[in-house]
Structure 1
């Protein structure tokens, strides 16, 4: 999709587009968003000072998101060699800073070590290299597996299979929980010295589909001292969404 088209559609945003040029474009493919309500007492100690943990109807939420990133481009350049197509698996929660809603990542797994090094160095995000795979079977299920690339890692931390229920697309209704979880247009992170940074994001409203999910292993949060119990409260599938990213800045 042309960047001018993406930038021309802004009525759905909760705040205006940032000033200045965007820096990076990503294509998100075969995206599963699986959502769990989590006690704020569990999450709040993990949130950096200066960020407010957000809740919906009294509950904090955590989302696990496996997908394929393709392509990755920097503004004005062709796809970056060796890092233009790889798998990602994210774990995030929902925060705000001075009234501006956004997302905060606990974990970001990626199958490309160069992308991991770049994101950790320049974006101050908690990326980790992982051995990851995705395949589609004859029943259209996507089988997704991730294992940390560590000498002591013996078992996958995520194994899941998912597929859209049908071809019916929908957008989240404003004011709904799904809208609150999905329509987020900035991220927050911190430097090694604890300074809070924010990065603006822009894309069309999420094109969502109902999804069938078989979750076998989901232990990504064990690195933070807790585990998610049971299946997610609900989940959605998105075939593809293109997003523009602005440079990180202090906030």
Structure 2
């Protein structure tokens, strides 16, 4: 059951900083989410992230994550979603950064299923969206693109009632950094806390050709499933 927007806006105890003062501009849903988290070498990672963004660490560890989900009901404020534009499958590869003490994520790669939403998302957000054919069912993802190949089959397992500090650090992120210009501010987002579940993989084939020397994609350190969140975003 979807929550009223006012309920989402009033659920703020989990946030590391207040919601921005201007009104939100975008509504979207990130549904049926798979997280694959990998500890990586910080020196190699530093070469891939703009210098004005600081690499974030948890207990001295650097991380990247593959996040596969369905983007749904995307719309600007005061409008309605249009099915062929507002719903599509997405897979992104992200890492964890800070800017002026504010933690967030920086995207190394974003693959989206449909051509028109890919173009629109790239223009509207400035994030590195690229089109790739993605097929998903309730328990699988298949992606064969120029930059990556993904084959995942999974089973959702037990709910994680008390996520660890590391699990919260990896998932509860409320700023997206584009990294193109040192003067740019982050894109802020807000949602209720993630509902996380353990996940078991029956099949796990991942390959990002550009990052083979950085990540052993076949051996994630942590994995999660979530039914998803309703997201508000600010320009």
> Which TM bucket (shorter chain)?
over 0.9
Distance of 1:44 and 1:132 partners within structure 2 = 29
Whether 1:170 aligns to 2:161 is yes
- Matched residue, 2:25: 23
- Matched residue, 1:106: 108
Distance of 1:81 and 1:34 partners within structure 2 = 28
Q: Would the aligned equivalents of 1:124 and 1:190 in 2 still touch at CA under 8 Å?
A: no
TM-score, length of structure 2 as denominator length: 0.92
Larger mean CA deviation between 47-56 and 92-101 belongs to 47-56
Q: Would the aligned equivalents of 1:23 and 1:75 in 2 still touch at CA under 8 Å?
A: yes
- Matched residue, 1:35: 37
Whether 1:186 aligns to 2:186 is no
Give per-residue Cα distances to partners, 1:142-168, cap 9 Å, x unaligned. 1101122x5xx8xx61111122113x3
Q: Would the aligned equivalents of 1:135 and 1:143 in 2 still touch at CA under 8 Å?
A: yes
Q: Would the aligned equivalents of 2:53 and 2:179 in 1 still touch at CA under 8 Å?
A: no
Distance of 1:72 and 1:163 partners within structure 2 = 27
Distance 1:194 1:219, change over 3 A: farther
Query: Alignment RMSD, CA only?
Result: 1.8
TM-score, length of structure 1 as denominator length: 0.87
**Aligned 1:53-92 pairs, distance under 5 A:** 53-92=55-94
**In structure 2, the residue corresponding to 1:82 is in which secondary structure?**
helix
Q: Would the aligned equivalents of 1:163 and 1:211 in 2 still touch at CA under 8 Å?
A: yes
How far off its partner does 1:73 sit? 1.7
Whether 1:223 aligns to 2:223 is no
How far off its partner does 1:214 sit? 3.6
How far off its partner does 1:119 sit? 2.1
Distance of 2:77 and 2:65 partners within structure 1 = 29
**In structure 1, the residue corresponding to 2:133 is in which secondary structure?**
strand
How far off its partner does 1:226 sit? 3.0
**Aligned 1:108-123 pairs, distance under 5 A:** 108-123=110-125
Distance of 2:203 and 2:54 partners within structure 1 = 30
**In structure 2, the residue corresponding to 1:159 is in which secondary structure?**
strand
Q: Would the aligned equivalents of 2:156 and 2:198 in 1 still touch at CA under 8 Å?
A: yes
Q: Would the aligned equivalents of 1:64 and 1:91 in 2 still touch at CA under 8 Å?
A: yes
Gaps of 5+ in 1: 137-141
Distance of 1:104 and 1:171 partners within structure 2 = 26
**In structure 2, the residue corresponding to 1:36 is in which secondary structure?**
strand
- Matched residue, 2:191: 203
How far off its partner does 1:41 sit? 1.1
Give per-residue Cα distances to partners, 1:54-98, cap 9 Å, x unaligned. 111221000001111112121110003421211000110000000
Gaps of 5+ in 2: none
